[in-house]
Amino acid sequence: MKDFQYAAPTTIQAATSLLTEHGSGARILAGGTDIIVQLREGLREADIVVDIKKIPELRECQYSDESGLCLGAAVTCCEIYEDADLAGRYGALADSTHIIGGWQIQSRASVGGNLCNASPAADTIPALIVLNAEAQVTGPNGQRTIAADAFCTGPGINSLVDGEFVVAIQIPPQSASMGSAYQRFIPRNEMDIAVVGVGSWIELDADGNIANARISLGAVAATPLFAVEASQFLVGKEPSDDNFAEAAELAKQIATPITDMRGTAHYRTHLVGVLVKRTLTTALARAQA
């Protein structure tokens, strides 16, 4: 491991100046559960590691029925799933934060970090995509927002430019007629990386039919995918097993997985169908509850 400097700024401005000054030589640390491992194993290098979790705004977590959830980028996984109100509203997010690593990891790892690390198999990103989340980004040229489904551009690559970092993740408010779920398939029951991950979100209309739906797939392409056609197919439909099965078939069509030690392309595509049906079923139950 190469020597590097460490800085822990306490304001957004100070962080922006450090990141701008060091450009591509700077790496951001929030929980550190990915970057520390990557630095140790030589997968990434850094001249300076900028710890952003001492910035108060990044540790804030606020919800209102008007603006929804504003999740500071360094808020940890367990702070989300241990908040019963949040976990109830954002089922998919609670599901995904609950299964990343073990307790120790969940007490450090942040959703913002999971998004920025941009792993194709990241557990929170399909959840963020189906919940229609946006990343609030700040940088030397001011602020901008990036939709969750556009945030990742390749394995380990995101759309931030040098000097930019995610301050918060904004997620629309949730009403009682909405429900969401995330599930992944792993060969073991914990401490594993998704062979396939699927997030689903459903909004029901007054008749109990599907007013709106969003489905997202992880670990079956270079980035997490928003399954547009599968999602749109469900709009206006009855939430039946047959319709879920049809949506699952449509979702399978956009999967372009690789064959590796975690599963063959054929098996992964099959699992997309299984998990789309299962997550839609759970999301429906939560929307009906």
Partner 1 sequence: MATTPYRVIGTRPVRHDGADKVTGKAVYTADFKLPGLQAGFVLRSPHPHAKIVSIDTSAAEATAGVSAVVTGADFPNVQDKIAQLGEGSVNLAHLSANCMAKDKVLYKGHAVAAVSATNAHIAEEAAAKIVVEYEMLPSVTDIMEAMADDAPLLHADLFTDDLGQKADTASNVAVHMHFEKGDVAAGFEQADVVVEAEFKTATVHQGYIEPHAIVADYNEDGRVRLWTATQGSFTCRQQTAEILQIGVGDVLVTPCEIGGGFGGKIAVYLEPTAAILSKKAGRPVSILMTRTDVFEATGPTPASFMRVKVGAKNDGTLIAGEAWIAYDAGAFPGGVIGPGCMCVFSCYDIEHAVVDGYDVCVNKPHTKAYRAPGATQVAFAMEQLMDELAEQLDICPLEIRMKNAVKEGSRRVDGPVYPQIGYVECLEALRDSDHWNSPLTGDNRGRGIAGGFWFGCGLKSSAACSVNSDGTINLLEGSTDIGGSRASLAMQLAETLGIESSDINPMVGDTDSVGYTDVTGGSRVTFATGLAAYEAGRDLQSQMKVRAAELWECETNDVSIADDGTFSGNGKTAGFKDLATQLFSSGEALVGRATVAPECPTNGFAAHIVDVEVDPDTGKVTILRYTAIQDAGTAIHPSYVEGQMQGGAVQGIGWALNEEYFFNDDDQMTNASFLDYRMPTMLDVPMIDTIIVETGNADHPYGVRGVGEPPIIPPPPAIGNAIYNATQTRMRELPMSPPKVWQAMQSSD
Q: Check residue 242 for interaction with partner 1 (CB under 8 A).
A: no
Q: Which of 45, 162, 205, 260 binds partner 1 (CB under 8 A)?
A: 260
C-beta of 3 vs 85, nearer to partner 1? 3
User: Site map for partner 1, 186-225, x if CB under 8 A?
Assistant: -xxxxxxx--------------------------------
* Near partner 1 by CB under 8 A: residue from 254, 270, 281, 285: 270
Out of 243, 267, 281, 285, the only residue in the binding site for partner 1 (CB under 8 A) is 267
Per CB under 8 A, 271 contacts partner 1: yes
Of 89 and 268, nearer to partner 1 (C-beta) is 268
CB of 191 to partner 1, least distance (A): 5
1 forms part of the interface with partner 1 (CB under 8 A):
yes
**Shortest CB 3 distance to partner 1, Å:** 7
Q: Which of residues 128-147 bind partner 1 (CB under 8 A)?
A: none
Shortest Cβ 41–partner 1 spacing (Å): 9
**Inter-CA distances, 267 with 99, 105, 188, Å:** 22, 29, 16
Task: Say whether residue 274 binds partner 1 (CB under 8 A).
Answer: yes
- DSSP-assigned states of every residue in the chain: ----EEE--SSHHHHHHHHHHHGGGEEEESS-TTHHHHHHTTSS--SEEEE-TTSGGGG-EEEETTTEEEEETT-BHHHHHT-HHHHHH-HHHHHHHHSSS-HHHHTT-BHHHHHHHT-TT-SHHHHHHHTT-EEEEEETTEEEEEEHHHHEEETTEES--TT-EEEEEEE----TTEEEEEEEE-SSSSS---SEEEEEEEEE-TTSSEEEEEEEEESSSSS-EE-HHHHHHHTTS---HHHHHHHHHHHHHH--PPPBTTB-HHHHHHHHHHHHHHHHHHHHHHHH-
Q: In this chain, which stretch among 154-162, 164-172, 185-193, 241-249 interacts with partner 1, using CB under 8 A?
A: 185-193
Residue (27 or 262) nearer to partner 1, CB: 262
Positions touching partner 1 (CB under 8 A) are 1-3, 185, 187-193, 260-264, 267, 270-271, 274
